[in-house]
């Protein structure tokens, strides 16, 4: 056999994941500008947030989140080690304070208790990093520099976002609804690989405009073709053309859809 057909390993990276923290308890230590950004990130992910910071250290945004009830609990004092003890053990800790000694103590305590922690601006004391995120409805694109250059990550993220079509988020919404309908048609675990390959073919053969234009009736008609493994075009589904040609592109599964 000639040549290695497998991807080369590139060490030194991070495992970039979409971490589901919905209804999880996230503890934020600090109340300044960096803490405000962290709080917004986890609120966008529907977490339950506790903030530990003296009231005098709260910036206007963090104060607003507390006063409007977006932050569930505000502890008006500095961090204490007992804040990580039962019964209020957090699922995640985000530390954003200008106190290196306390920050290191927080990380050490979290490490001992196996609580994932991020210590702002101290990459060696982070179990995970925050990237620069573009958000359009369900579409999220994160750029990470693995702690090397947060500002550069922001510049690259804006560069990418500026080149995305305006309807990308809407297309993702419609594809998500189609996937749920397909799951009802073919619910078995044994159908998993076939479902993903078929959905990949839909995404490859339909344009973003077609995906955005897909209505409930179109989806109901489209999933009827799943069993025979065919992906008709939108025009054919609507009876606007006879036997519209199907894109025969063979799509390899890359894990992007997840096992559902």
Residues marked active site are found at 121
Q: 159 vs 17, 41, 140, CA distance in Å? A: 22, 21, 15
CA distance 256 to 252: 11
Q: 235-248 burial, b if ≥16 CB within 10 A, otherwise e?
A: ebbeeeeeeeeeee
Question: Chain-centre distance of CA 126, in angstroms?
Answer: 19
Which string of DSSP letters, residue by residue, matches the chain? Answer: --S--SPPP--S---------TT-EEEEE--SHHHHHHHHHHHHTT-EEEEE--GGG--HHHHHHHHTTSSSEEE-S---GGGGSTTS--SEEEE--S-HHHHHHHHHHHHHHT--EEETT-GGGBSS---EEEEETTEEEEE--TTS-HHHHHHHHHHHHTTS-TTHHHHHHHHHHHHHHHHHHS--GGGHHHHHHHHHHHHHHS-HHHHHH--HHHHHHHHTTTTTT----HHHHTTSSSSPPPP-------STT---
């Amino acid at each position: 056999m000639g040549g290695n057909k497998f991807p080369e390993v590139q060490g030194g990276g991070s495992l970039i994941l979409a971490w589901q923290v919905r209804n999880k308890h996230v503890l934020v230590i600090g109340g300044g500008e960096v803490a405000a950004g962290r709080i917004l990130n986890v609120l966008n992910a529907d977490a339950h947030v506790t903030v530990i910071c003296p009231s005098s250290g709260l910036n206007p945004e963090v104060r607003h989140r507390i006063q409007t009830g977006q932050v569930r609990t505000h502890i008006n004092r500095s961090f204490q080690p007992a804040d990580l003890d039962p019964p209020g053990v957090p699922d995640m800790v985000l530390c954003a304070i200008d106190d290196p000694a306390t920050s290191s103590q927080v990380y050490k305590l979290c490490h001992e208790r196996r609580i994932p922690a991020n210590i702002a601006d101290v990459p060696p004391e982070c179990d995970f990093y925050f990237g620069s995120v573009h958000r359009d409805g369900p579409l999220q694109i994160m750029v990470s520099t693995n702690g090397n250059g947060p500002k550069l990550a922001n510049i690259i993220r804006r560069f990418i976002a500026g080149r995305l079509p305006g309807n990308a988020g809407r297309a993702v919404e419609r594809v998500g609804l189609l996937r749920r309908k397909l799951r009802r048609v073919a619910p078995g675990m044994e159908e998993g690989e076939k479902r993903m390959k078929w959905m990949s073919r839909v995404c490859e053969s339909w344009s973003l405009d077609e995906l955005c234009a897909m209505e409930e009736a179109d989806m109901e008609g489209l999933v009827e073709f799943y069993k025979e493994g065919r992906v008709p075009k939108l025009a054919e589904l609507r009876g606007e053309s006879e036997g519209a040609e199907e894109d025969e592109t063979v799509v390899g599964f890359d894990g992007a859809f997840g096992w559902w």
